[in-house]
């Protein structure tokens, strides 16, 4: 029987120590500070911002969605950038280094048309010389490690990542994250982690395995068969931080209704603090279903929250449905670390709502 890896074994990306083998994925419209801080509490060793548009920063014509904040309890934190030209990427990398990011992550994997049509994201898998130039110039411009997230390639069956990955490392990438689906696949089918194992064999830097990490057993299998240093979890953590705990520590206990309500109320409060009431009200609606699904609360209750006009009323409904949540919430807020927040005014996303 294979020996399980202790997922609380630290590892390193350059000088940055990551305390667990679990990375919380950057997700557009999801990975706000409230989401990242919660992920750290439940076992993520590294958390990532959602994609930040370098073009929006350069031209100043993208609707400003708020402030990108770096809290004391987020570190280590990677801020992910996307763009199609080296100079704006360098300027943006310097800015996020200044605000306190531990790692600059570059996105060469996003398959969404809104991104690829600008020449960014997964499009750069087909422009390897430009991709390498971007990494080389960004790595030369900042003192923090530069990492890259990529897919296997644009077309189904592509093996482009195996050629590009080593070149990106030569250009200065301190770590690679591979989601071994094609851009054409989007999120359908299965992630081919045989490709992850091949990439690991080709590079001397840590590789993070992304895709279909749905349980501790699956994480252990992927780590054992690929040689990756860590796994990345994305959609499985949406409204379900307990999934992170299960992967890292093997604690598969289901949260109580009170625990679910307390975490959601805390998340609501943090989102309002970060985004403001108006933006947070819209942003949070998708989270209600994520948190309260899986049989945790009746469907009519979830639907009722979507009709409410204020987050204060959402809180009241949740506490009324699970009164014991109040004591848990008070404990969570009392345990929250305090520290300075650094802010950097820049467009957070081309997506709106987070």
Instruction: Report the catalytic residues.
Output: 110
DSSP letter at 48 equals E
* Dist CA 245 CA 222 (whole Å): 17
Residues counted in the chain: 354
Q: Mapped to the 3 state alphabet, what secondary structure does 153-203 carry?
A: ECCCCCCHHHHHHHHHHHHCCCEEEEEEEECCCCCCCCCCHHHHHHHHHHC
In contact, 62 and 352? CB cutoff 8 Å: no
Give the three-class secondary structure for 294.
Answer: coil
Report helix, strand or coil for 224: helix
| H or E segment to which residue 231 belongs | strand 230-233
| Per-residue exposure over 148-163, b if at least 16 CB sit within 10 Å of its own CB, e if not | bbbbbbbeeebebbbe
Burial (CB < 10 A; 0-12, 13-18, 19+), residue 85, is: middle
How far is the C-alpha of 43 from the C-alpha of 245, rounded, in Å?
A: 6
Contact assessment for residue 123 and residue 160, using Cβ atoms and an 8 Å cutoff:
no
């Amino acid at each position: 029987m294979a020996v399980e890896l202790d997922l609380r074994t630290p590892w390193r990306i350059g000088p940055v120590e990551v305390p667990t083998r679990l990375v919380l994925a950057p997700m557009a419209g999801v990975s706000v500070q409230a989401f990242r801080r919660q992920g750290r509490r439940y076992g993520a060793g590294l958390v990532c911002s959602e994609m930040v548009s370098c073009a929006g920063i350069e031209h100043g014509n993208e609707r400003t969605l708020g402030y990108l904040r770096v809290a004391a309890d987020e570190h280590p934190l990677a801020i992910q950038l996307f763009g199609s030209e080296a100079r704006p990427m360098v300027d943006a990398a310097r800015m996020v280094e200044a605000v306190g990011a531990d790692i600059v992550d570059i996105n060469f994997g996003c398959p969404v048309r809104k991104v690829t049509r600008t020449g960014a994201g997964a499009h750069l898998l087909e422009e390897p010389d430009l991709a390498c130039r971007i990494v080389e110039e960004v790595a030369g411009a900042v003192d923090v490690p530069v990492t890259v997230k990529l897919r296997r390639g644009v077309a189904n069956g592509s093996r482009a990542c195996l050629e590009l990955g080593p070149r990106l490392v030569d250009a200065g990438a301190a770590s690679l994250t591979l989601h071994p689906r094609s851009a054409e696949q989007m999120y359908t089918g299965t992630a081919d982690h045989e490709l992850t194992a091949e990439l690991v064999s080709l590079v001397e830097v840590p590789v993070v395995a992304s895709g279909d990490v749905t349980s501790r057993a699956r994480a252990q299998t992927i780590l054992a068969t690929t040689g990756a240093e860590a796994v990345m979890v994305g959609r499985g953590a949406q409204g379900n931080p307990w999934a992170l705990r299960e992967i890292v520590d093997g604690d598969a206990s289901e949260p109580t209704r009170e625990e679910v309500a307390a975490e959601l109320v805390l998340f609501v409060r943090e989102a309002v603090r970060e985004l403001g009431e108006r933006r947070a009200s819209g942003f949070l609606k998708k989270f209600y279903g994520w948190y309260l699904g899986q049989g945790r609360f009746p469907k009519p209750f979830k639907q009722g929250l979507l009709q409410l006009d204020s987050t204060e009323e959402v809180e009241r409904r949740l506490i009324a449905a699970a009164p014991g949540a109040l004591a848990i919430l008070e404990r969570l807020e009392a345990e929250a670390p305090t520290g300075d927040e650094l802010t950097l005014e820049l467009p957070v996303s081309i997506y709106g709502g987070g």
